[in-house]
Amino acid sequence: MTAVAAPGVYAPGAPNRLRDPVVPAIFFAGFAAILLVSLLILWRAAPAAPTAPCVNPVDCPPPRGPPRLVVGHPWKSASLGFSLEFDDSAWAVDADSRRGLELGNDNAILWIRGVRGANVQNAFELGRRHFENLAFELAPNRPSRRVLGAGIGYRRGIGSAYCVTIRGLGARDDVIILAASDGTVSVVAAIITGHCDKSPSGELGFGLQQADTVLNTFRWPSEARE
């Protein structure tokens, strides 16, 4: 006599879809896919984490979007295209040309010149020669006055600190020479403050702070076109 399983009744050895291992595997795979998609949607919808403010302008990228509101007196090189702003109630324009300018007040002198090309060292030497022609002496300043993080505007560069004795003045002045480039134009900036031997170590005097504020507004020709 042959045993036959009735419909709907399980017989040993007969195939049974409830015992097929493929079915739960497909179920769990589908559930995992849905869970993954849900987590991805939640992650993309979450607000971005706040970013730390950029403290040193030299390490920051140029600001995006429209130019910021002008709060100082604007100046632009007629032949090279770089620009800056300065407080005309704090600075007087001692010299102005198509490639640079010189600002002065009772605390500091800021001398800026630009040249075509990307050779930063050539621009730096232009600044050195300028002061060598004016001074009896151009000597490196003490190690505590070395320049760290040299740059102009948002471009890193090179820089050194010197003590100079300028003809006709007699006193040894503190001079910091900086140079940088955006690849098409190179610029040298020199900041002159008085009493090199008495200048504070490891901090910016008021004259240097004023000059630094001007240099932080510096815009390169390539940035002005962005």
Q: Is residue 144 part of a domain?
A: yes
CATH number of the domain that residue 157 is part of: 3.40.1000.10
Q: Look at 71 and 104; give whichever has higher pLDDT.
A: 104
Q: Is residue 124 part of a domain?
A: yes
- Tell me how far apart the terminal alpha carbons of the chain are, to the nearest angstrom: 93
Domain span at 155: 57-224
SS3 per-residue string spanning the chain: CCCCCCCCCCCCCCCCHHHCCHHHHHHHHHHHHHHHHHHHHHHHHCCCCCCCCCCCHHHCCCCCCCCCCCCCEEEECCCCCCEEEECCCCCEEEEECCCEEEEECCCCEEEEEEEECCCHHHHHHHHHHHHHHHEEEEEECCHHHCCCCCEECCEEEEEEEEEEEECCCCCEEEEEEEEEECCCEEEEEEEEECCHHHCCCCCCCHHHHHHHHHHCCCECHHHHCC
Q: Is residue 66 part of a domain?
A: yes
Q: Is residue 72 part of a domain?
A: yes
pLDDT given at position 64: 57
Residue 68: pLDDT above 60?
no
Residue 13: pLDDT above 70?
no
Q: Is residue 24 part of a domain?
A: no
Q: Is residue 34 part of a domain?
A: no
Judge whether 145 and 201 are in contact, CB under 8 Å. yes
Provide, rounded to the nearest whole percent, the portion of the chain with pLDDT above 70: 66
pLDDT, tens only, 180-208: 999 999 999 999 887 776 655 545 588 88
pLDDT given at position 199: 58
The number of distinct structural domains making up the chain is 1
Span of 4-8, 30-34, 80-84, 149-153 with lowest mean pLDDT: 4-8
Residue 90: pLDDT above 90?
yes
Residue 26: pLDDT above 90?
no
Q: Is residue 159 part of a domain?
A: yes
The overall average pLDDT reported for the chain is 77
Q: Is residue 11 part of a domain?
A: no
Residue labelled with tokens 């403290």 = 55
